[in-house]
Amino acid sequence: MLQKKVLPNLNEGFSRITFCQNDDDVKTAVNTYSFLGLFDSLPPGIIGQKSGDAKVQQGIMKFFKKVDTDGNCSQNSAPKHENNENNPRPMGIEKGSEVGKDEQNDFQWNDAPTLAFPSISTSDFQFNMDKASDVIVEAVADFFSKVDKVKLILVDLSSKSKMLSLVKVKASEKNVDTTRFSTYAGDITRLYTGGGLHCNVIANASNWRLKPGGGGVNAAIFSAGGEALEIATKEQADTISPGSSIIVPVPRTSPLNQREGVTYVIHVLGPNMNPQRPNCLKDDYVKGCKVLYEAYSSLFNNFASIALSQNYQKEYSGDSKSEPTKSVCKSFEAVVECQRSSSEQKSKREVSYGSDCNKKSKYNGDSGGLPGMLEKEEQKSERSDHSAKSSWGSWAHALHQIAMHPEKHNLDVVEISDDFVVLNDLYPKAKKHILVTSRLPGLDCLADIRREHLPMLQKMHAAGLKWAEQFSSHDPSLVFRLGYHSVPSMRQLHLHVISQDFDSTHLRKKKHWNSFNTPFFRDSIDVQEEIKMNGLATIKDEKLLSSELRCHHCKSAHPNLPRLKSHIATCKAPFPSHLQNGQLIFALSGSSDAVSAI
C-alpha cells in the first residue's frame, strides 16, 4: 500500500501498523487482537519495524505526515474553516487569538482524547439555561481538577446559541482552561465532515427509553448512527435513569463510525422540567441541579474511563521491564475516585422512576406500566439506581459475558441452565464460595429486580441450596448463607452461596468482610419476600462497607482483619437471632436431609 501511495481513509479505521517478519510474528499479532475485549484497544503507531530499514522508515514518516495533513488522524490538523453557516468552527478558540495559536502548535493537546457533548435537559426537558450553564461549568471545572490529558467540547447547532454564550462567559469567569474546554457551533453528528474535528467519543442527550424519537440531538444521533447504533444500544441497556449515562461502542458498520470516525456514543439522561415528559421535577431546581450535575459527572467519568485506558496503553505496552508513568496512574485513580463519588451521590438520591413512565414491560408484555415501580410512601429506605451500565468499568463486564456465552467459558462454569449459570468465585472469600448468575439480559443488579423476576430468583435460590447440600455432604462443618450484595462490583445479577468460615487468603480488606456481614448483604429469602410484598428490594447504603469489624457470631468488635480472623477461629458463640429465620443453611449429620435451614 505504501509503495503504491494509496493512503487509508478515516472510515477504514487505520491507526496502527504492525510489521510481521515471519510466521511467528503473524501468530503473535493474531493472538494479540484475538484477546482484545469490548473496551480494549492497542496503542497506535508502528510496531515491529526493523530499525535498520531506512526506506521503510522514510515511507512511513511520509505516510503519517500525509495523514496528519489531510486531517484523518488529528483533531486540529484538519483544514481551517471560516466561521460561517457552511463551515462552522470552534467558538472557544477565537480566530487569530494567542490561545488558538498555542493550541495548534501544542502537539500534546492536539492529540488529547476529546469528548463532544450537547447541553443536557435544556431543550425538550425545558431546564433553565442559566442554571444549566452554571452546572456545566462547575462539572467541567471539577472534572479537570481530577483528570488531565483530556478535552471537552460543548456543541450546539447555532453560533447564536444562548447556551454557548452563557457557558463561555461563565467558564472565563471561573478560569476554566480554554485549551481543554471550548464551545462549537455545528452539527454534533458531522463534526469531522462539517468542521474538521475528530472526536471519537460523542454524547447523546437521550430519552429514558434509549430509543430513537422525539427531536433534537437524540433523533439526530440515532439517525446518523443507523440501525447498527440502535442494536448496539439495546445490547447495553433497555432504559436509563436521570443522572446516569451509558457507554455504547459504535459498530464499524454504523455510518457514524464510517463517516465521522465516532467509536463511542455515551447516552446520558438529565432531569426533566417538562410536564409533558416522564419524571417531571415540577420546577424543583434544588433536586434538578443535583441530578444534572450527576448526569454530567457520569458522562465525563465514563469518557475518562475510555480515554485514560487508551493513554495507559500508549505509555505502557505490557513489557515487563516498563512501568506506567505516574501521571497516567494518577489520572486513572482519579477517574476511579470520581466514579466512586458519583455512585455515593446517587445512593443518597431517591429515584422515582416509574410514576411518569407508561412503559411496556420487556419480560411479561404488560402495557399498564412497570410493575412495582411506584415506591410506597412509607418505604423510607433510599435506593440507588445502579442499573445503568455506565457505572460498570470494562473489567466488571466479565460476569455478564460468561452468563451470556457460557459455552465459551467451560473452564469457569460448573453448571449451565437456560435461566442461570453457576461458577466458582474467582476470589473466594471463604472455603466454599460460588455465584449463581442470572442469564436474563438487562438484569444487572438488585436494583433491577421487579415482581416479574421472582420466578428467576426462586430458581437461583433452589440452585444455591442444591450446591450448599453438595458441599455439606463432603464437609458437614460448613454453614452457608445465600444472598446478594446491595451494590455489586460485577455486572449481571448473581447470588452468592458462601460458607460462613470466611477462611480465605482473598479476604484481605475491611470492605470484603463487611460486604458479607452487615445489612449490605441481603439474604436471598428476605429479597424474595420484599419482591412479593413491594415489587422491589431495599438497597442498603454502601457506607456499611466502612463499618467497624465485628464477629458474625458474637458481634464483638476488632481493630483489624487479622485479629478478627484469629477470634473467629476460636469463637464458640451461636449465630445471632436475626439469622434464625432460614438465612443459615447447615448440614444435618445422620439425617436423610443433607441440608436444613436454621
267 catalytic per annotation: no
Q: What CA–CA distance (Å, rounded) separates 514 from 536? A: 23
Does pLDDT of 525 surpass 70? Answer: yes
pLDDT value, residue 80: 36
What is the chain's alpha carbon radius of gyration, rounded to the nearest angstrom? 27
Q: What CA–CA distance (Å, rounded) separates 452 from 532? A: 10
3 state SS of 79: coil
Instruction: Give 184's strand partners.
Output: 90, 155
The beta-strand segments (E) located in 358-478 are 413-416, 420-424, 433-438
Q: Which position has the grid cell 516498563?
A: 322
Q: Which position has the grid cell 456545566?
A: 136
pTM above the 0.75 mark? no
CA distances from 347 to 168, 379, 447 (A): 32, 15, 11
Quote the crossing angle between the two packed helices 524-534 and 454-474, to the nearest 10°.
Answer: 170
Q: Give 354-381 pLDDT, tens digit per residue.
A: 334 433 333 333 333 323 333 333 333 3
Question: DSSP letter string over 512-557?
Answer: HHHHHHSTTEEEHHHHHHHHHHHSS-PPPPGGGGGSPEE-TTT--E
> Do residues 338 and 302 lie in contact, with contact meaning Cβ atoms separated by under 8 Å?
no
Quote the crossing angle between the two packed helices 326-347 and 129-146, to the nearest 10°.
Answer: 140
Q: Which three cell numbers stand for residue 268?
A: 446520558
Lowest-pLDDT range of 6-20, 124-138, 308-322, 472-486 = 308-322
Domain 114-313 = CATH 2.30.29: no
> Do residues 13 and 252 lie in contact, with contact meaning Cβ atoms separated by under 8 Å?
yes
Q: Give 161-183 pLDDT, tens digit per residue.
A: 999 999 999 999 999 988 899 99
DSSP character for 89?
-
Q: Say how many Å lie between the first and final Cα of the chain, rounded.
A: 72
Q: Give 447-499 pLDDT, tens digit per residue.
A: 999 999 999 999 999 999 999 999 999 999 999 999 999 999 899 999 999 99
Q: How much is the mean pLDDT over the chain?
A: 76
Q: What CA–CA distance (Å, rounded) separates 468 from 514? A: 22
- Chain centroid to Cα 453, Å, comes to 24
Q: What CA–CA distance (Å, rounded) separates 391 from 385? A: 10
Q: Give 425-434 pLDDT, tens digit per residue.
A: 989 999 999 9
Q: What CA–CA distance (Å, rounded) separates 498 from 433? A: 4
Out of 267, 461, 494, 552, pick the active-site residue.
494
Q: Which three cell numbers stand for residue 354?
A: 416509574
How many CB atoms sit inside 10 A of residue 12's CB? 11
Q: Give 208-225 pLDDT, tens digit per residue.
A: 889 887 778 999 999 999
Q: Give 238-278 pLDDT, tens digit per residue.
A: 888 899 999 999 998 899 988 888 999 999 999 999 998 88
pLDDT value, residue 562: 93
Query: Could you give phi then psi for residue 210, rounded to 5 degrees?
Result: 60, 40
CATH class label, 410-586: alpha beta
Does pLDDT of 523 surpass 90? Answer: yes
pLDDT value, residue 292: 95
Q: What percent of the chain has pLDDT over 70?
A: 67
Q: What CA–CA distance (Å, rounded) separates 581 from 593? A: 18
Q: What CA–CA distance (Å, rounded) separates 241 from 243? A: 6
Helix (H) or strand (E) holding 139: helix 129-146
- Kindly report, as residue ranges, where domains of CATH 3.40.220 are found in the chain: 114-313
Does pLDDT of 6 surpass 80? Answer: no
